[in-house]
């Protein structure tokens, strides 16, 4: 969703998904950059899932990129 936070390695910052730009480098599971090649906004109703994580870290990898499951960092 638009408001999910994604770690942008090239900017050393957490950004909302709707703030990403083509060319941004995200963080892969082994520390490698994952470059944003294109952005597509999908309209309509879509199934989405929220995860609750135990412990202090709310970061996890999905689709080979580091994300955060709390909307406000």
9-56 confidence digits (pLDDT tens): 999 999 999 999 999 999 999 999 999 999 998 888 878 776 666 767
- For residue 15, the model assigns a pLDDT of 93
Q: How far is residue 10's CA from residue 56's CA, in Å, rounded to a whole number?
A: 25
Calpha distance 22→39 (Å, rounded): 7
Residue 73 has pLDDT above 80, yes or no: no
pLDDT, residue 11, reads 95
For residue 29 the two structure tokens come to 């599971």
pLDDT at 53: 66
Residue 51, C-beta contacts closer than 8 angstroms, at least 6 positions apart: 60, 69
pLDDT over 70 (residue 72): no
What pLDDT score does 63 carry? Answer: 80
């Amino acid at each position: 969703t638009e408001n999910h936070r994604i770690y942008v390695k090239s900017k050393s910052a957490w950004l909302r998904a709707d703030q990403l730009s083509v060319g941004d480098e995200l963080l892969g599971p082994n520390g490698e950059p994952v470059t944003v090649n294109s952005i597509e906004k999908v309209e309509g109703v879509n199934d989405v899932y929220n995860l609750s994580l135990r412990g202090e870290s709310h970061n996890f990898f999905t689709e080979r990129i580091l994300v955060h499951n709390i909307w406000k960092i």
